[in-house]
Amino acid sequence: MLRARRDLRVKDRVHILVSLSLRQNNLRKLTKRHFDVLILGAGINGAVSAAALAARGVKVALIDKGDFGGGSSSQSSNLAWGGIKYLESGELRLVSRLCKSRNHLMRSFPSTVKEIRFLTTVQRGFRWPVSFLYLGTLLYWLMGRFATKPPALVSRENLSRRDPRIRSDAASGGFEYSDCYLHDNDSRFVFSFVRTAMNYGAVAANYVAATAAARKDGRWVVSIRDEIDGLTSDVECDVLINACGPEVDLVNVMAARKTTYRHVFSKGVHLMVDRTPDRSRILAFFASDGRLFFVIPMGPKTCIGTTDTQVSDPAVKVDDEDREFILSNANKLLNWSKPLTKEDIIAERCGVRPLAVSGQSQSVNWVELSRKHQVEVSESDAHISIFGGKMTDCINVGEEIAEIVANLGVKFPVEPRRWYGEPDARVKEEFVVQAKLLGLDELADPRSCEPLTDRLWRRYGANAFEMLETVRENPRNADRLLEHAEYLRCEIEQAGRREMITKLEDFLRRRSKISLVVRRRDIIDDPSLKEFCEILFGDQADAKLLEYIEQTESDGP
Ligand SMILES: Cc1cc2nc3c(=O)[nH]c(=O)nc-3n(C[C@H](O)[C@H](O)[C@H](O)COP(=O)(O)OP(=O)(O)OC[C@H]3O[C@@H](n4cnc5c(N)ncnc54)[C@H](O)[C@@H]3O)c2cc1C
């Protein structure tokens, strides 16, 4: 850390602050234009709404008081799943819908939303016998329209043969089924929709909070505050969408809106631990509270969780009870080379699931609480609130919001089009050919866990062509920049231009998952961090690095 502070001399070199100017240009546009739709909150719900509307030519603005995808959408289990656990509460329609959404995501984002096996161990004395649970997985597979590999029953002996880490002594057996995971990161997935919206002309800005909203003469006037410099101004729009996730209710109070739906919250924690995972599968168990508990591969490290605690305040933090619950369950259910302790924790993920309930009654049946999203519309005031939901259902949310906005009378100048998904197979083939001719994969650092061609395509799609060009111009652009993170110089340069990195943490935690898999101390002590920051922030590199060091001081080692 000291070395990082000592080395903070910004080179006297010409650097165009493209990333900051993208944000600054958008901030200027926000107050100068009248928008058809202003979306508050750029989590998954706000991001898909912006992309679906902007692709139809609607004039959209999207703001978030923090970074894009920095709320609940950065704290999920990273799964695109059909909600197998809701079979137990008999929510067949929800499971069928989520399975359909999962399949749709899997087809649309074949490099990012990947099928993975869930090897599930059932302890003796569990509330359901293994054979019955296995029948449940067959039903799940059927509800998933057979889009994944079929489930399999796994005997007790075979559990530890498949993964020697599983403690099978207290198990009655297990089963394996398929679902999907987000390869890179939930918040990177959210950002891909924000970027799509910007490609279609949406004006998006992070670190801009809505502080007041009022309906005047048939329009919405929303007061905003730039959280970086404190400046305030107003934005005008016809339709206002509140997609503030756990803060939807607060923001509705701010705008004097009364709604039928409201949120209750369930806190969920995951711990990132310093253990190399088996990347081919997720291990699933039933934890001591009877809920499904996952050991998930995340890049070179392992993510374990989650908890499910009812809370009344959405501003949550990890506490010792959460750590103890996760570590003790992980130690009880798995044979690690040595038991996991707090020292093995690299990073922590903590957020609330915003769950939609109707009515003001304080008594909520948590068991029967549906995880389905609800959209509440006030036609007279052209106001929309999005409650609850899952990452998995995001395409449906985008489509639904576009339809509602059209019904509110907003003109859609462009015909319906596909606003999500990777470019088609021919574009990918062309990329693979060009990458091969360039010898891209031979330029990869020998420590890389996957070929560069796959990685760049998955992360950047058609924008990866530009990276090939910069590597052709100068092979140095294919150098891995940070010691512990698989990012090339050309990726950082592109992020600086296109990804509105306003704080260093935006890149390390949300556009990438570096700070989830690399200890904070290793990041800060990396000799190339200075160059890394200069590429992202030019002559503000010094200040941005110090800001990161200070703001993450309490995040541990
Ligand atoms: C532990 C956990 C595990 C989960 N696992 C999964 C999973 O595996 N799969 C799955 O599909 N779903 C999962 N979920 C659910 C999913 O993550 C959430 O339902 C989803 O991310 C909610 O998205 P959102 O856009 O509504 O809210 P958020 O992502 O919280 O976005 C709301 C945004 O609004 C912004 N905002 C708030 N107030 C203002 C304001 N005044 N002005 C401007 N902006 C504002 C916030 O900064 C925030 O970025 C999980 C959730 C949790 C907590």
Residue 423 pLDDT more than 90?
yes
pLDDT, mean of residues 171-192:
96
Q: Is 230 left (phi over 0), alpha (psi -120 to 50) or beta?
A: left
SS3 322: helix
Give the rounded percent of residues in the chain with a pLDDT score beyond 90.
87
**Mean pLDDT over residues 136-143, rounded?**
98
Where does the pLDDT of residue 367 fall: very low under 50, low under 70, confident under 90, or very high at 90 and above?
low
* Nearest atom in ligand 1 to 47's CA: 25
Alpha carbon dihedral 53, 56, 58, 63, in 10-degree steps, equals 30
Q: Count Cβ atoms below 10 Å from residue 57 Cβ, excluding itself.
A: 16
Q: How far is CA 211 from CA 107, 255, 259, 262, 378, in A?
A: 39, 9, 19, 20, 20
For the record, the structure tokens of 307 come out as 């908890």
Answer whether 262's CB lies under 8 Å from 249's CB: yes
Q: Phi and psi (nearest 5°) for 456? A: -65, -40
Q: Is the pLDDT of residue 3 over 60?
A: no
Ligand 1 proximity of 390 Cβ (cutoff 6 Å)? yes
Using 50, 70 and 90 to split pLDDT, how confident is the model at 366?
A: low
DSSP alpha helix (H) spans, 2-91 = 2-6, 18-32, 44-54
**Token output for 147:** 């889009």
**Above 80 in pLDDT, residue 507?**
yes
Higher pLDDT, 276 or 468: 468
- List Cβ<8 Å contacts ≥24 apart for 467-471: 467/491, 467/494, 468/431, 468/434, 468/435, 468/438, 468/440, 471/438, 471/440, 471/443
pLDDT band, residue 155 (cuts 50/70/90): very high
387 C-alpha vs ligand 1 centroid, how far in Å? Answer: 10
| Separation between Cα atoms, residue 102 and residue 65, nearest integer Å | 29
DSSP state of 406: H
Indicate whether residue 22 lines ligand 1 (CB < 6 A).
no
Residue given tokens 């200075």 in the structure block = 530
Q: Whose CA is nearest to atom 48 of ligand 1?
A: 71
Neighbours of 400 (CB within 10 A): 18
Q: Are 453 and 439 in contact (CB under 8 A)?
A: no
Atom of ligand 1 nearest to the CA of 41: 34
Per the CB < 8 A criterion, the answer to whether 88 and 425 are in contact is no
Interatomic CA distance for residues 486 and 554, integer angstroms:
25
Q: What is the rounded average pLDDT for all residues in the chain?
A: 93
Instruction: Using the Cα atoms of residue 539, residue 540, residue 543 and residue 549 in order, give the sign of their dihedral.
Output: negative
Over the stretch 280-331, which tens digit does the pLDDT of each residue have?
A: 999 999 998 888 999 999 989 999 999 999 999 999 999 999 999 999 999 9
Please list, in sequence order, all residues whose beta carbon lies within 8 angstroms of the beta carbon of residue 369, skipping any fewer than 6 positions away: 264, 355, 357
**pLDDT value of residue 277:** 87
Least confident among 159-168, 209-218, 415-424, 548-557: 548-557
**Is the predicted pLDDT of residue 33 greater than 50, yes or no?**
yes
Distances (CA, A) of 151 to 283, 529, 552: 14, 45, 43
Q: Is the peptide bond before 306 cis (omega within 30 degrees of 0)?
A: yes
CA of 293 to the centre of ligand 1 (A): 20
Q: Interhelix angle for 489-498 vs 18-32, to 10°? A: 20
Q: Note the pLDDT of residue 372.
A: 83
- 48-87 per-position pLDDT tens digit: 999 999 999 999 999 999 999 999 999 999 999 999 999 9
Distance CA 5, CA 400 (A): 49
Closest atom of ligand 1 to 269 CA is: 1
Given a cut of 80, whether residue 371 has pLDDT beyond it is no
Among the listed residues 531, 527, 524, 499, the one whose alpha carbon sits nearest the alpha carbon of residue 195 = 499
pTM for this structure?
Answer: 0.95
The mean per-residue pLDDT over the stretch 446-455 comes to 89
Burial environment of residue 106 by CB neighbours within 10 A (0 to 12, 13 to 18, 19 or more):
buried
In the chain, count H helices and then E strands. 19, 18
Q: Which of 76, 180, 263, 267 to mutate to test the pocket of ligand 1 (most atoms within 8 A of CB)?
A: 76
CA 266 to ligand 1: nearest atom? 53
